[in-house]
Structure 1
Amino acid sequence: MFKIDFIDQKDKQTIIPFLSKLDSSISVQTLNERLNDMFSNGYQCIGIYDDTKLIGISGLWILTKYYIGKHVEPDNVFILPEYQGKNLGKQLVEWIFDYAKSIDCEGSELNCYSKNEAGQKFWESQGYKVVGYHYQKKF
Structure 2
Amino acid sequence: MYTFKFIPRENIAQIIPFLQILDVNIPAETLEQRLNEMFDNNYKCVGAYHEDRLIGVSGLWILTKYYIGRHIEPDNVIIHPDYRSRNVGDQMVDWIHAYGKANGCVASELNCYTGNTRGQKFWSSQGYEIKAFHYRKMLDNEL
Please report the TM-score for the alignment, with normalisation by the length of structure 1: 0.98
| Aligned-partner Cα distance in 2 for 1:54–1:67 | 35
Cα distance between partner residues in 1 of 2:117 and 2:11: 31
> After superposition, where does 1:1-139 map in structure 2 within 5 Å?
1-139=1-139
Aligned to 1:15, the other structure's residue is in SS state helix
Equivalent-residue separation in structure 2 for 1:113 and 1:18 (angstroms): 16
Q: Using structure 2 for the length normalisation, give the TM-score.
A: 0.96
User: Residues of 1 paired with 2:84 and 2:21: CA distance?
Assistant: 15
Structure 1 gaps of 5+ residues are none
5+ long unaligned stretches in structure 2: none
CA–CA distance in structure 2, aligned partners of residues 137 and 107 of structure 1: 27
User: Shift of residue 21 of structure 1?
Assistant: 1.1
CA distance in 1, matches of 2:55, 2:88: 10
Identity of aligned residues (%): 54
Equivalent pairs, count: 139
Q: Using the alignment, how far apart are the partners of 2:2 and 2:103 within structure 1?
A: 24
- Aligned-pair RMSD on alpha carbons? 0.6
SS of 1:16's equivalent?
A: helix
Q: Which runs of 4+ in 1 moved over 2 A?
A: none
- CA deviation digits over 1:54-84, x for unaligned, max 9? 0000000111000000100000111011100
Distance in 2 between residues matched to 1:88 and 1:17, nearest whole Å: 18
